[in-house]
Structure 1
Amino acid sequence: MVEFILERGNYWAIIGLMMIGLYTLFSSTNLIKRLVGLSIFQTSIILFYISLSRIDGGTAPILYGKDAKGHGGEHGAEVAAGHATDATHAAPDAAHGAADAAAHGFEHVYSNPLPHVLMLTAIVVGVATLATGLAIVVRIREAYGTIETDEIRETDLEVALAEYAEDHPEANPA
């Protein structure tokens, strides 16, 4: 049982980060703390996808050794492009081990680069989302004088009640 838990330590860390992010996101009334919670949650998701894409015995999809034969000389660029494409297509099958790599004509097992590329995109989107959120928080601070959601709701309610009383004088008995 202890081995089961220790072998999956990265997943336990990811679950911990995810719960910390969600708790911060839902429990805080401060808008910046909520954005920090959202960023922690996004980071845990990115780590989860990277952990899932790991292949036992796999290496980066950069051809080397006997897999890189034919590189250099007059055919270097064309052969390199062909082998890189083959390595990328062989990577999902390589999760089953070196036998599949050999079946595809490769000496080494290569990891699939697609999840890593997608997570790089997710990082960029996360940073853009955080920057947009911080810009909105700045504008809220300028408009309301606070970044606490309770105080913002209270101010909105007071303004809405004042506008309603102004528009409907018959509802106000005073």
Structure 2
Amino acid sequence: MTTLDNRPNTALLVVDVQNGVVDDGYDRDTVIATIGGLVGRARKEGVPVVWVQHSDEELVRGSEEWRIVGELGREDAEPLVEKSYGDSFEDTDLEKVLAERGVGRLVVVGAETDACIRSTLHGALVRGYDATLVGDAHTTVDKTAWGAPEPEQVIAHTNLYWRYQAAPGRKGGTVMAKEVEFSG
């Protein structure tokens, strides 16, 4: 249903599954395993897997914290988009990468739920993409010290509100990993 012309394809967008982002993430090992399963399925089905990697003063490029977690391996042919803002589209070549692959629909996984995942989902929708969140394949750290809800509540709320997101000619949505259909 995307509003982008000649963009019938779907891509799996793997956002910020980096050591310094997810090591203290809620249910980290289960989420990483779920993401790994989706990456494997996407590869098997010929669906592009696009990796996004954040860098800033805390995630210094080349550091151990900056690296993608060891359980997930990016294949050389899979695009890597480097970013320094929450929205994976902002000041990156993500749009170009997706356009080259005819992608108009994104299946989004990764971290952090209440930062880069939310920003990227909204960024995709306003740019004309359909954007599906995989409800059991994103995580966040505990930010209760700063007044945020417990991580599981942040995740549940994001899953709930994104399930009903839509805009003219495009849609959001939340599904669990077992329900992901890359074909549409």
Instruction: Provide the TM-score with structure 1 as the length reference.
Output: 0.23
Report the structure number with the largest CA radius of gyration. 1
Between Structure 1 and Structure 2, the one with more strand by share is 2
Q: TM-score, normalised by structure 2?
A: 0.22
